[in-house]
Amino acid sequence: METKAREMVHSVTVATETDRDVLLSRAQDAVQAARWEKALDCYGQLLAGYPGEVAAYLGYGNCLLHLHRSLDDAERVFRDAMERFPENRQATERVAHVAVRKGEHGTALQLYDALRRRFPGYSGAVLGYCDSMIGLGRAQEAEPALRAFLETQPGFYGVHAKLIQILSLQGRHEEMLEAAVKARECLPDDPSAHAAVARALVCLWRYEEAHDVYVGINARFSSSSVGLAGMLWISSLRQIFPLMERYYGEIRQRFPTNLDGPMFVANRLYKLELLERADEVLAELVEAFPDQVEPLLLHAQVAVRADDFETALARFERITSRFPGNYEGQSNYGKMLLRLDKTELAEVHFREMLDLFPSRPGPTLHCARLACKNGRHEEGLALMQALQTRFVGGYPGQVLSGPFSPTRLDFDHEETLFTVLADQFPNRVDIHLSYARMMM
């Protein structure tokens, strides 16, 4: 009897292990195919059935990020993993990554710094540490950590690339080229290391030399899209549109799953005000990459730039239905409603966003503004006071107690607002970038 019972337990264990492996394999296959909804479902089943499987937590949280779902939900999953599996460095790294995505660079810096001291050989920790430094406007302070890492472990291209980025941010382009050449020497079989040399040459306005480097990459690493994408980039910078179109066509033909190159073309067309062609390219990409939100967002922005607000509204609405966790799409949908004087619908939408994005101040600001516009000043005041309480010491809490206090609720003067923010928070790179985008 005891032997029979042992055999039954063994058979159940084998079946359970098989089920786990099947789910994990399906999830990984879905990730490889960029089928994020399918992957999320598989990881969800894995998480429910096998709470001791760390891959389930990491995979589920990563899918939430790729699908632009709530950052708070992703953070909860990763924090659960960090608490359950304290020796798993990726769990801590993912929590810190979400903090960066939320603009909480100080929190991220603490997590990454502790992680790199605990695991000095983990490249993800030093890279995240540097990203946090950059986010805090302290890029130069990250350089020693990168150079120290590369002295003992020169085989990580990502670390080389981060050093190159930091040198570029400081305008040290000759040193950037030196670092790129060294990266190529350390990793001669990595096309990305060769491409780093080309990018450094571009920063030095040496376009023809950069183009030749990319031609060499395309010849030597024909299975990689890096060379062709670089040739496309150089032709766009030089505004040689026939070449740009040619390389775009080659990328779409040879690398149909590559989105970066085509999106770069679409962005260049958009910025150069070639809106009709940008619209054509993006319409193709929207259909070719249904699981990606980037083409949809830019497709909607093209309509905005063309002053076709009804079309823009429809495109942003498509984003809200397919990617409900994407803040940019949701926010712009509300703004289009305002642009079209559909204020009641806009207010309903922004109120729904309060629940979707509790960590974002934007929806509350819009709701307060609309309440005051419609004569409900007490309601607007209450919303602003609640917001100020939530963000004590942060930017918008600081600003709400200054020239944009609840008693004024003057949100039409965005330029003045960003000027105040930039003065009060000189190390917040995101504020300066937002100000720059607004002025474009």
Q: Is the distance from CB of 47 to CB of 303 less than 8 angstroms? A: no
Cα separation, 391 vs 86, whole angstroms: 30
Residue 195 burial by Cβ neighbours in a 10 Å radius (0-12, 13-18, 19+): buried
What lies within 8 Å, CB to CB, of 31 at 6+ separation is 39, 59, 62, 63
Check residue 86 and give its pLDDT: 84
Cα separation, 133 vs 101, whole angstroms: 14
In terms of Cα–Cα distance, which of 234, 179, 184, 226 is closest to 206?
Answer: 234
Q: Is the distance from CB of 33 to CB of 56 less than 8 angstroms? A: no
What sections of 289-413 are H helices per DSSP?
294-305, 309-322, 327-339, 343-356, 362-373, 377-390, 397-400
In terms of Cα–Cα distance, which of 111, 134, 133 is closest to 122?
Answer: 111
Cα separation, 298 vs 368, whole angstroms: 28
Q: Is the distance from CB of 269 to CB of 278 less than 8 angstroms? A: yes
Check residue 395 and give its pLDDT: 43
Check residue 332 and give its pLDDT: 92
Listing DSSP states for 245-276 in one string gives HHHHHHHHHH-TT--HHHHHHHHHHHHTT-HH
Check residue 315 and give its pLDDT: 95
Q: In this predicted model, what pLDDT tens digit does every residue of 73-111 receive, in sequence order?
A: 888 989 998 888 888 888 888 988 888 888 788 888 888
In terms of Cα–Cα distance, which of 333, 363, 336, 339 is closest to 351?
Answer: 363
Check residue 303 and give its pLDDT: 95
Q: Is the distance from CB of 261 to CB of 228 less than 8 angstroms? A: yes
Residue located via tokens 């062709």 = 228
Residue located via tokens 């505004």 = 239
Q: In this predicted model, what pLDDT tens digit does every residue of 247-295 receive, in sequence order?
A: 888 888 888 888 888 888 888 888 888 899 999 999 999 999 988 999 9
Check residue 241 and give its pLDDT: 83
Element (H, E) at 139: helix 139-152
Check residue 108 and give its pLDDT: 87
Cα separation, 61 vs 316, whole angstroms: 25
Domain ranges of the chain: 154-241, 384-440
Class of domain 154-241: mainly alpha
Which residues in the chain come in under a pLDDT of 50? Answer: 1-17, 392-421, 424, 431, 434-440
- Which tokens belong to 68? 């632009």
Phi, psi of 276 (to 5 degrees): -65, -45
CA distances from 187 to 102, 170, 234, 380, 381 (A): 34, 25, 23, 58, 59
Cα angle vertex 391, ends 387, 395, to 5°?
Answer: 110
Check residue 283 and give its pLDDT: 94
Q: Is the distance from CB of 295 to CB of 282 less than 8 angstroms? A: yes
